């Protein structure tokens, strides 16, 4: 094989990484370079330095160390049977690219993943070496996310956590059956165990040490995972059930949903169609309901026939329409928990309502000024001088709201 230039390698190994959903650079410890005199900082909130025309944020240099891989997961462009062009970065290449991009303010840091070559430990060892060199030799203070390989040794995970902000292990698909079918060499049992070990390590390191009473640094941005949506037949209810299990079991910061995207030279076991982007979007909304709105997983799709999220309306509105008996809610009296269940009221708006109503009673117009749109929430609230009357129970309510919200729709 002819030697590839750095640019050619970058083209191949960023193309290979683009099916990965996560690009977050948030949630780590605060850090800057004032003391070290180096380069790089993280300040809690991540920064998106650019946006690709697919609407996705470009925050990190998201690349694979190599796209050679011994696994043959049918949904993956880099599976061993795929005819995609292959390349491999040296540790040097990745360190140089990261620093060159970071100095020009193109990125927040590095998200390094890799195909598995030869052995999990060998691949993971090189990824850890990239992180080590960035931190120790380049005095790099930016964000580092390492995708860890489930089968690698505990010692490598320990070292990875020392340098990285976030570690992640992909669950791949929502069910073990799906993994067995589409990624026959991957072991769901091993993936669970790796997540459990990572959680144990993060908790262990969060405790101050006996001797120095300080906390050792270990993946301050926690762990996350990703699952592919639409490659197998799992329903949204099944997907959310898996998420609820993962959040509660392994203290994940995030579960990413990645709409299965057709890949060139794809396996015939898979759907050849445009990725289900709206479904992905609705899953994220439902995920938010579980994490920030006090919804139990089982509630979100309770009462639906097929366990699928409504693509035309957001999951909270769909839930409210199925549970009209709980509405209307009085914005001047209701609890925070109940206000959070009103369609169209986000967490911030609810907090503003609670703050403002200590000083004056809210009218419908006031709520309208705080929220984005009044059309969606009007039938579900009572305010000073406003009652929805029979509106809440009208059979055509769904249609009415959908029509008035259409102009605001995301797609």
Partner 1 sequence: MQTMQLAFSPFNVALASETDFAGWRNAARKLALNDIAPQAVTWVVDASAAKEEETLPEAPEKAHLDVPRSFVSRAEAVICHSDPERFALLYRLLWRLRREPKLLEIASDPDVRRFEAMEKAVGRDMHKMRAFVRFRRIETSNGEHFVAWFEPSHFIVERNATFFVRRFTGMCWTILTPYASASWNGETLSIGPGAAKADAPAEDAAEELWQTYFQNIFNPARLKVQAMQKEMPKKYWRNLPEAALIPDLIAGADEAAREMIARMPTQPASHHTKAQALHWQVPDAHAENDDGNYHSLDAVREAAKGCRRCPLWRDATQTVFGDGPPDAEVMFVGEQPGDQEDIAGKAFVGPAGKVFDAILDDAGIDRQKTYVTNAVKHFKFEPRGKRRIHSKPNTSEVQACRWWLDKELALAKPRLVVALGATAALSLLGKSIAITKMRGEVVEREDGLRVFLTIHPSFILRIPDEAEKQAERGRFLNDMRAVKRLMS
Asked if residue 54 binds partner 1 (CB under 8 A), the reply is: yes
CB of 233 to partner 1, least distance (A): 17
CB of 159 to partner 1, least distance (A): 21
Asked if residue 336 binds partner 1 (CB under 8 A), the reply is: no
Give the per-residue contact string, 55-74, with partner 1 (x = CB under 8 A; - = no).
Answer: xxxx--xx-------x-x--
CB of 319 to partner 1, least distance (A): 18
CB of 362 or CB of 401, closer to partner 1: 362
Q: Residues 211, 213, 305, 358: which binds partner 1 (CB under 8 A)? A: 358
Asked if residue 406 binds partner 1 (CB under 8 A), the reply is: no
Cα–Cα distance, 356 to 361 (Å, whole number): 8
CB of 326 to partner 1, least distance (A): 21
183-222 positions binding partner 1, by CB under 8 A: 185, 189, 192-193, 195-196, 199-200
Q: Residues 75, 163, 247, 319: which binds partner 1 (CB under 8 A)? A: 247
Asked if residue 244 binds partner 1 (CB under 8 A), the reply is: yes
Q: Which stretch, 102-110, 121-129, 324-332, 395-403, contacts partner 1 (CB under 8 A)?
A: 102-110
Asked if residue 249 binds partner 1 (CB under 8 A), the reply is: yes
Asked if residue 7 binds partner 1 (CB under 8 A), the reply is: yes
CB of 86 to partner 1, least distance (A): 9
3-state secondary structure the chain: CCCCCHHHHHHHHHHCCCCCCCCCCCCCCCECCCCCCCECCECCCCCCCEECCCCCEECEEEEECECCCCCCCCCCCCCCCCCCCCCECCHHHHHHHHHHHHHCCCCCEEEEECCCCCCHHHHHHHHHHHHHHHHHHCCECCEEEEECCCCCCHHHHHHHHHHCCEEECCCECCCHHHHHHHCCCCCHHHHHHHHHHHHHHHHHHHCCCCCCCCCCCCCCCCEEEEEEECCCCCCHHHHHHHHHHHHHHHCCCEEEEEECCCCCCCCCCCCCCCCCHHHHHHHHHHHHHHHHCCCCHHHHCCCCCCCCCCCCCCHHHHHHHHCHHHCCEECCCCCHHHHCCCCCCCHHHHHHHHHHCCCCCCEHHHHHHHCCCCCCCHHHEEEECECCHHHHHCCCHHHHHHHHHHHHCCC
Asked if residue 330 binds partner 1 (CB under 8 A), the reply is: no
254-273 positions binding partner 1, by CB under 8 A: 259, 261-268, 272-273
CB of 3 or CB of 5, closer to partner 1: 5
CB of 243 to partner 1, least distance (A): 9
Asked if residue 326 binds partner 1 (CB under 8 A), the reply is: no
Q: Residues 121, 129, 151, 176: which binds partner 1 (CB under 8 A)? A: 176
CB of 72 or CB of 330, closer to partner 1: 72
Asked if residue 14 binds partner 1 (CB under 8 A), the reply is: yes
């Amino acid at each position: 094989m002819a030697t590839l230039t750095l640019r050619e390698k970058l083209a191949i190994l960023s193309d290979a990484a683009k099916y990965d959903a996560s690009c977050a650079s948030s949630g780590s410890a605060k850090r800057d370079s004032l003391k070290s005199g180096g380069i790089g900082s993280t300040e809690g909130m991540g920064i998106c330095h650019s946006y690709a025309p697919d609407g996705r944020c470009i925050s990190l240099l998201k690349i694979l160390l190599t796209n050679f891989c011994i696994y043959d997961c049918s949904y993956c462009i880099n599976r061993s049977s795929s005819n995609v062009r292959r390349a491999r970065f040296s540790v040097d290449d990745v360190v140089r690219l990261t620093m060159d991009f970071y100095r020009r303010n193109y990125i927040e840091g590095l998200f390094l993943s890799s195909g598995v070559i030869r052995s999990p430990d060998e691949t993971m060892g090189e990824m850890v070496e990239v992180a080590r060199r960035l931190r120790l030799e380049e005095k790099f203070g930016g964000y580092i996310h390492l995708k860890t390989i489930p089968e690698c040794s505990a010692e490598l995970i320990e070292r990875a956590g020392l340098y990285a902000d976030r570690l992640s292990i992909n669950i791949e698909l929502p069910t073990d059956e799906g993994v067995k079918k589409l990624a026959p060499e991957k072991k769901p049992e091993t993936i669970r165990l790796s997540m459990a070990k990572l959680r144990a390590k993060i908790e262990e390191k969060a405790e101050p040490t006996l001797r120095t009473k300080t906390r050792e640094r270990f993946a301050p941005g926690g762990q996350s995972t990703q699952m592919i949506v639409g490659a197998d037949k799992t329903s949204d209810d099944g997907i959310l059930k898996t998420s609820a299990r993962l959040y509660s079991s392994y203290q994940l910061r995030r579960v990413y949903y990645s709409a299965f995207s057709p890949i060139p030279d794809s396996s015939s076991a898979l759907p050849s169609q445009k990725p289900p982007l709206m479904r992905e979007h609705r899953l994220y909304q439902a995920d938010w309901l579980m994490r920030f709105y006090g919804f139990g997983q089982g509630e979100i799709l309770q009462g639906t026939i097929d366990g699928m999220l409504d693509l035309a309306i957001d999951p909270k509105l769909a839930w409210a329409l199925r549970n009209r008996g709980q509405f209307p809610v009085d914005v001047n009296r209701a609890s925070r928990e109940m206000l959070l269940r009103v369609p169209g009221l986000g967490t911030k708006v609810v907090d503003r309502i609670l703050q403002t109503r200590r000083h004056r009673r809210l009218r419908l117009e006031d709520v309208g000024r705080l929220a984005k749109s009044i059309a969606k929430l009007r039938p579900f609230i009572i305010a000073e001088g406003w009652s929805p009357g029979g509106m809440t129970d009208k059979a055509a309510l769904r249609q009415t709201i959908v029509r008035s919200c259409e102009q605001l729709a995301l797609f």
